[in-house]
């Protein structure tokens, strides 16, 4: 019997025997269980910080408890919005939020339809997005059963927002048509107008360096071989313009590869987001395929050129009126178009962003409205 008990999964008591009182009168704070990635990847932290910063503006009593959304580096257990964690949220949380990046990519949270129904506090998905293996590939899901889980999880949500039109269409095709398009939360960390910064000669290059170096598979070798060639082209052009490139690493795993590939250039990495903000504030331009670097630059009013690798990039470009400015890595004229855009910006021409400012402000308003409604629902859960 003892051996059998070890083999069988433990039975989860989703509803604790004693659920704490949620009466508002003697409880000053609202406890928010925030499921999010927790790696040393800077982009994850841009999203996390923005969600918490802007929700606290309308719910200043919020206290955020970080929870591991998946098996990321640097986290303990339990992991994911399932099993024991549902019981813990039922016992201690006033709300549960899931916010951060590519959670629909292979359904990263692994939330199960049969489990999520047991969650008692209101659930919010904030700025989630799809991803794909290539520019023209469908959103990537390894298992067909994930579609059922994604639909059930969204139907359980009090509110669900997405970062782009592609994600909204993806959910609609699954049967969920109530998602709210807000854009990526990281875009709203700052609210600066696009402007040239001629005083700075720093140009930030932000590529997924380990992937550039990957030669294990022919398709990735082709994709990232193109990026490596483009980076070398950009470096030559920046030298011609007497500008100073900085190789910006968003992930700690980027650093050794970036150093090996570009030993003669400055490299930047930090596990403190404030240092990224300072770096971006003192730069003139951002170029690359790290989408959250592009998004951060857009919020800070810093010109950028994004090279799209998959549906993350194309989704952002289409939603924010940048489809004629950002470039796909497989564009046959990629090199010429990169040089054209670099020259255009170097000459002070920001016409490539003529639609971006207005669209960004529209979705910023949508995001702030979403946060206001989120706060109202959380307060109502206590009443």
Query: Are the C-beta atoms of 301 and 248 separated by less than 8 Å?
Result: no
DSSP state of 290: -
Would you state the structure tokens that stand for residue 89, as one six-digit string? 């949220």
**3-state secondary structure labels for all residues of 105-153:** CCCCCCCCHHHHCCCCCCEEEEEECCCCCCCCCCCCCCCCHHHHHHHHH
Give CA–CA dist 369/255, Å, rounded. Answer: 39
Nearest-5° angle of CA 64, CA 65, CA 66? 110
Task: Specify the pLDDT at position 218.
Answer: 41
Per-residue tens of pLDDT for the chain, all 383 residues:
455 555 555 677 888 766 655 555 567 899 999 998 877 889 999 999 999 999 999 999 999 999 988 876 656 677 889 989 999 999 999 999 998 778 999 999 999 999 999 999 999 999 999 999 999 999 999 999 999 999 999 999 999 999 999 999 999 999 999 999 999 999 999 999 999 987 889 999 998 866 655 555 444 447 778 888 899 999 999 999 999 999 999 988 889 888 988 999 999 999 999 999 999 999 999 999 999 999 999 999 999 999 999 999 999 999 999 999 999 999 999 999 999 999 999 999 999 999 999 999 999 999 999 999 999 999 999 77
Would you state the structure tokens that stand for residue 359, as one six-digit string? 């669209």
Q: How far apart are the first and last CA of the chain?
A: 47
Q: Name all domains of the chain by residue range, CATH numbers in brackets.
A: 2-185+363-382 (3.40.50), 202-359 (3.40.50.2000)
- Indicate the burial class of 149 (C-beta count within 10 angstroms; 0-12, 13-18, 19 or more): buried
Q: List residues bridging with 328 in a β-sheet.
A: 308
Task: Specify the pLDDT at position 250.
Answer: 92
Nearest-5° angle of CA 165, CA 167, CA 170? 110
pTM: 0.92
What DSSP string runs through 1-25?
A: -HHHHHHSPPPP-SS-SSPPP--ST
């Amino acid at each position: 019997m003892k051996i059998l008990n070890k083999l069988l999964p433990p039975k989860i008591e989703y509803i604790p025997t004693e659920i704490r009182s949620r009466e508002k009168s003697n409880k000053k704070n609202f406890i928010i269980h925030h499921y999010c990635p927790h790696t040393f990847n800077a982009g994850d932290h841009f999203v996390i910080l923005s969600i918490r910063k802007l929700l606290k503006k309308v719910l200043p009593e919020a206290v955020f408890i970080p929870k591991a959304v998946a098996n990321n580096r640097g986290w303990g257990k339990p992991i994911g919005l399932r099993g024991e964690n549902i019981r813990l949220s039922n016992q201690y949380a006033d709300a549960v939020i899931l916010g951060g990046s590519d959670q629909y990519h292979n359904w990263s949270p692994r939330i199960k339809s049969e489990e999520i129904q047991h969650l008692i506090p209101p659930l919010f998905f904030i700025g989630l997005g799809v991803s794909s293996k290539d520019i023209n590939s469908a959103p990537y899901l390894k298992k067909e059963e994930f579609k059922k889980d994604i639909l059930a999880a969204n139907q359980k949500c009090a509110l669900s927002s997405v970062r782009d039109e592609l994600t909204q269409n993806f959910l609609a095709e699954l049967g969920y048509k109530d998602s709210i398009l807000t854009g990526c939360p990281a875009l709203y960390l700052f609210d600066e107008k696009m402007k040239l910064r001629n005083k700075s000669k720093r140009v930030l290059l932000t590529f997924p360096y380990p992937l550039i170096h990957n030669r294990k598979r022919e398709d990735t070798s082709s994709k990232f071989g193109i990026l490596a060639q483009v980076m070398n082209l950009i470096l030559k052009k920046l030298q011609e313009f007497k500008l100073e490139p900085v190789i910006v690493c968003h992930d700690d795993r980027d650093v050794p590869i970036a150093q090996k590939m570009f030993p003669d250039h400055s490299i930047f990495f930090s596990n403190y987001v404030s240092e990224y903000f300072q770096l971006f504030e003192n730069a003139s331009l951002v170029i690359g395929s790290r989408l959250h670097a592009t998004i951060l630059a857009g919020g800070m009013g810093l010109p950028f050129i994004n090279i799209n690798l998959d549906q993350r990039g194309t989704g952002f470009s289409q939603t924010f009126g940048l489809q004629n400015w950002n470039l796909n890595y497989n564009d046959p004229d990629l090199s010429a178009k990169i040089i054209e855009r670099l020259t255009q910006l170097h000459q002070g021409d920001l016409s490539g962003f003529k639609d971006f400012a207005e669209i960004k402000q529209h979705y910023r308003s949508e995001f702030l409205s979403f946060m206001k409604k989120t706060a109202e629902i959380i307060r109502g859960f206590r009443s």
